[in-house]
Amino acid sequence: IRRDRDGGAMSQPRQPNILFIMSDDHAAHAISAYGSRINVTPHIDRLAAEGARLDHCFCTNSICAPSRATILTGVHSHRNGVLTLADRFDGRQETYPKILQDAGYQTAIFGKWHLGHGGHADPSGFDHWAVLPDQGLYHDPAFFVKGERVQLEGYVTDLITDYALDWLRGRDRERPFALMVHHKAPHRPWEPDDRHQYLYEDVDIPLSETFDDDYSHRSNAARNAEMRIADHLYHYDLKQDVPEGLTPAEEKRWKYQRYIKDYLRCVASVDDNVGRLLDYLDEHGLADDTVVIYTSDQGFFLGDHGWYDKRFMYEESLRMPFLIRYPREIPAGSVVDAMVTNLDFAPTFLDYAGLCATERMQGRSLRRIVAGEAPPDDWPQAMYYRYWMHLAHHNVPAHYGIRTRRHKLIYYYGEALGTTESIDRPTEPEWELFDLEEDPRELRSVYDDPAYADIQRTLTDELHRLKAHYGDDR
């Protein structure tokens, strides 16, 4: 129990509100609180300044629908059934919104759902919902409002926030709320709003240090991936013809500027709309009693390795931003170093509601850690990753692996294994091992380096142990 200025005990609300804001493909290195070199996000940064920034938050399957299913259920893809983009979510399973709803929370979700529509795939566990059909549109989008199609005019990021604010205004003030605001932005094809369409017009956005990566010293997987800005980013995303007469290097830079500016303009709108929600909490005296989270469903390559997508277990794609503010517990401006994943989100939300994680959940609550306590001795020292969609998109082979604080071991096993949305064409199995202390940009696999033989053996054992621990037997 905290004391107020006069020494009296301030009552702690038994169940704080939860405001979970998640964007789509917003990499941590495009948030100024994470040290972005390419943009500023003053509203999102408030959460870091007034709460905690998690520096080692990772996605267990770095792609939209699977990450969302894991966040809802607190279990790995092979447990919740959403391994790929083509798998529909079975909403009959246990999710944190359902549990919070049962515990007396008012629940709602607005924005991107992306887990299928109709029947058991519709959002469940929500008193109210308005979600985009599949990816939805940036301009004048339709929504499914509790199943009914509604056509709106305006910009999607503003409209999602409008829905959230309307719902907050009409809520029951006697009960806590759990509100999920899931932005479509900044997912491709990047379409900024009118307010930001000229942002960055006269500046050059800095290039990633690995922009001209030549993919040497790594797997064929990296070399063969079809997500190069130079070779695979086309008119659909650029919305403009490449000027004639450019050298290949100039053309690659032109495409990068074209892409990254629109991406960052979409981010700017998300940031503004985070500000609108934070302002509402301030104006209505809710800031102290509301746990606010900002995250994204996974990371993204922002020209890193010359790429523009995700899927891989490499850092820029694996890492999720995670900022959390709860003034009653979380010290302002703190930085959390513990290794966490999107498995941990659901147990964390339940913990704030005074509930334990369920038997089924595979993550652990972050509540004490973000409040400043050291992680318990048995806190995981490695995270397990698996991407299932063999070769289907961007020619990325399926892979699994582990990341420890210092190392990363990846196994591209080379088979579709009958998963949906995979191409049934075997590839040569291959391994990668990175020493993230010596090589934080992951430019040189040391898998075959004799100096790493012991580490390679230890990590391989740990990979198999974790895979079994999480019940992934394929």
Binding residues vs Ca ion (CB under 5 A): 24-25, 64, 297
Q: Report, in Å, the least distance between residue 214 CB and Ca ion.
A: 27
Per this entry, what is the length of the chain?
474
Taking the CA atoms of residue 59, residue 60, residue 64 and residue 68 in that order, the dihedral angle to the nearest 10 degrees is: -90
Rounded least distance, CB 296 to Ca ion, Å: 7
- CA distances in angstroms from 310 to 300, 314, 392, listed in the order given: 5, 9, 13
CB nearer to Ca ion: give 25 or 193. Answer: 25
Q: Residues 61, 77: contact at Cβ < 8 Å?
A: yes
Closer residue to Ca ion (CB): 297 or 442: 297
Shortest distance (Å) from residue 383 CB to Ca ion: 18
Residue (64 or 346) nearer to Ca ion, CB: 64
For residues 311 and 403, which CB has a smaller minimum distance to Ca ion in the complex? 311
Between 50 and 297, name the residue whose CB sits nearer to Ca ion: 297
Smallest distance from Ca ion to CB 468, Å = 29
Alpha-carbon distance 388 to 84, whole Å?
6
Encoded amino acid at 405, one letter? R
Cβ-based burial of 402 (10 A; exposed 0-12, middle 13-18, buried ≥19)? buried
Shortest separation between residue 18's beta carbon and Ca ion, angstroms: 21
Nearest CB to Ca ion, comparing residues 24 and 462: 24
**CA triple 68-397-262, angle to 5 deg:** 55
Euclidean distance between CA atoms 169 and 171, whole angstroms: 6
Q: Tell me the residue nearest to Ca ion as measured from the CB.
A: 64
- Nearer Cβ to Ca ion, position 260 or 370? 260
Secondary structure letter of residue 233 according to DSSP: -
Q: Cβ contacts of residue 432 below 8 Å, gap of 6+?
A: 218, 219, 221, 401, 408, 409, 410, 412, 445, 447
Query: Toward Ca ion, which CB reaches closer, 167 or 294?
Result: 294
Find the DSSP H helices in 174-243.
Answer: 220-224, 229-232, 235-238
For the bound state, the minimum distance from the C-beta of residue 309 to Ca ion, rounded and expressed in Å, comes to 10
**In the complex, what is the shortest distance from the CB of residue 326 to Ca ion, in angstroms, rounded to a whole number?**
26
> Cα–Cα distance between 47 and 274 in angstroms, integer?
10
Least distance from C-beta 459 to Ca ion, angstroms?
28
Nearest distance, CB of residue 298 and Ca ion, angstroms: 5
Q: Which is nearer to Ca ion, 25 or 344 (CB)?
A: 25
CA distance 454 to 460: 10
* Nearest Cα to Cα of residue 178 among 352, 19, 344: 19
CA distance 385 to 293: 23
